[in-house]
Amino acid sequence: MSSAVEVSELTKRFGAFTSVDAISLTVEEGEVFGLLGSNGAGKSTTIRMLCGLLTPSAGRASVLGIDVARQPEEVKRRIGYMTQRFSLYEDLSVAQNLEFFGGVYGLHGERFEERRAWATKMAGLEGKQDRLTRALPGGWKQRLALACAVMHGPRVVFLDEPTGGVDPLSRRRFWALIDQMSAEGVTIIVTTHYLDEAERCDRIALMHLGRLVALGTVPALKDVFAGRALLEVACPRFLEAQERLEGEGFVLEASLFGTRLHLVVADAEEGRRRTLEILQADANVPASVERVVPSLEDVFIHCIEKEDAARSVTAVQA
């Protein structure tokens, strides 16, 4: 298996602002690779560099062995790209959109007919060819946008928050398409901030403020808690409890999850006992402490807090 995407020390600066800060990663062929992070983490900028839409400020990136900075046009020819905006022509019909994108990718004749039939079927739009795109429900538009983006049969597909603003059922259906393409050997790089979607990726990379803070398979990432336990605490004054518990030696990390508190401790039983003691002493009751299986969110919060702590140390040293 060779690499579909190779990124090394890739950096993008806009003036004084560094949007993507020296990230390195490799995506294997046929892999579904998730790029996660909050808004402004640098996910879209990374994707846009890989698609040849933006020139990197430093570092290297290649797609299917082609350098994105040196031969962006060659890269564009071989990839599919779809954004959260579903860049379709709303005033054209389903068939006309497919025809247009097929046309600008230079498809014609039998190959075009074949691809159009394939794309229509894949997107589940058979019988809807003459519908005006504007009149389609969001989930359908999304599948049509994907169909248009892969009309030319690219080996690598970049999806930039493809499921934004779409209902859960459509998201599920869309992910079934992603799995299907992946099964056909297409490499997929997808950005998202839905963690349930991230769980469906073969590997994920977490970006935070332009840096790559975690990279690996979902089970491997969850392994950061290996040898430690995660406790979920419920109590009436949870903010006060967080402040109080953070100061305790047995609590390695304390973070808020909605109205609950997640604690990382070395030993589950001891942690549970001491936490309950403290809460009862503070009359912060009724309180409950349960051991929970770490979720991706726990992993990310852990990684981001570690990164932020590292940065503030660097800042103090500087």
Shortest distance, position 194 Cβ to other proteins, whole Å: 21
Q: Which amino acid is at 48?
A: R
For position 117 contacting other proteins by CB under 8 A, the verdict is no
Single-letter amino acid, residue 256:
L
Q: Give the DSSP H or E segment for 165.
A: none
* Selection from 292, 175, 308, 311 nearest residue 222 by Cα: 292
- Which residue, chain included where needed, has tokens 């493809």? 162
Q: How far is the CB of 246 from other proteins (least distance, A)?
A: 44
Omega cis (within 30) before 286 = yes
Taking CB under 8 A as the criterion, which residues in 135-194 touch other proteins? 148-149
Among the listed residues 7, 42, 61, 76, the single contact to other proteins using CB under 8 A: 76
Selected binder of other proteins within 11, 24, 96, 255 (CB under 8 A): 96
Identity of residue 257? F
Judged by CB under 8 A, does residue 55 bind other proteins?
yes
Bridge partners of 211? 208
**Identified binder of other proteins from the candidate list 33, 105, 140, 175, rule CB under 8 A:** 105
Contact by Cβ (8 Å): 125, 175: no
Site size toward other proteins, by CB under 8 A:
30
60 binds other proteins (CB under 8 A): no
If the CB atoms of residues 98 and 198 are measured against other proteins, the closer one turns out to be: 98
How far out from the chain centre does Cα 256 lie? 22
The yes or no reply on residue 91 touching other proteins (CB under 8 A) is yes
Q: Which residues contact 315 (CB under 8 A, 6 or more apart)?
A: none
Write the DSSP symbol of residue 65. T
CB proximity list for 20: less than 8 A, separation 6 or greater = 10, 11, 12, 42, 45, 46, 49, 210
Contacts with 168 (C-beta within 8 Å, 6 or more apart), sequence order: none
Q: Please report whether residue 95 would count as binding other proteins according to CB under 8 A.
A: no
CB of residue 202 to other proteins, shortest distance in Å = 24
| Interface segment toward other proteins; rule CB under 8 A; list 19-27, 76-84, 228-236, 267-275 | 76-84
Q: How many residues does the chain have?
A: 318
Cβ 161 to other proteins shortest distance, Å: 13
Among the residue ranges 88-96, 201-209, 241-249, 291-299, the one whose residues contact other proteins (CB under 8 A): 88-96
Binding window for other proteins (CB under 8 A); candidates: 81-89, 182-190, 198-206, 216-224: 81-89
Does 103 bind other proteins (CB under 8 A)? Our answer is: yes
Stretch that binds other proteins, among 48-56, 200-208, 238-246, 300-308 (CB under 8 A): 48-56
Q: Is 87 in the site for other proteins (CB under 8 A)?
A: yes
Q: CB nearer to other proteins: give 36 or 88.
A: 88
Secondary structure E strands in the chain: 3-14, 17-28, 32-36, 58-63, 66-67, 79-83, 156-160, 187-192, 203-208, 211-216, 229-234, 251-257, 260-265, 288-292
Taking the C-alpha atoms of residue 226 and residue 217, their distance in angstroms, rounded to an integer, is 15
Find the binder of other proteins among 8, 14, 65, 90 (CB under 8 A).
Answer: 90
User: In sequence order, which residues have a C-beta less than 8 Å from that of residue 104 and are 6 or more positions away?
Assistant: none
Piece of 5-13, 16-24, 96-104, 161-169 that binds other proteins (CB under 8 A): 96-104
Residue span binding other proteins (CB under 8 A) among the ranges 101-109, 200-208, 286-294, 303-311 = 101-109
Residues at the contact surface with other proteins, assessed by CB under 8 A: 51-53, 55, 72-73, 76-77, 79, 81, 83, 85, 87-92, 96, 99-106, 108, 148-149
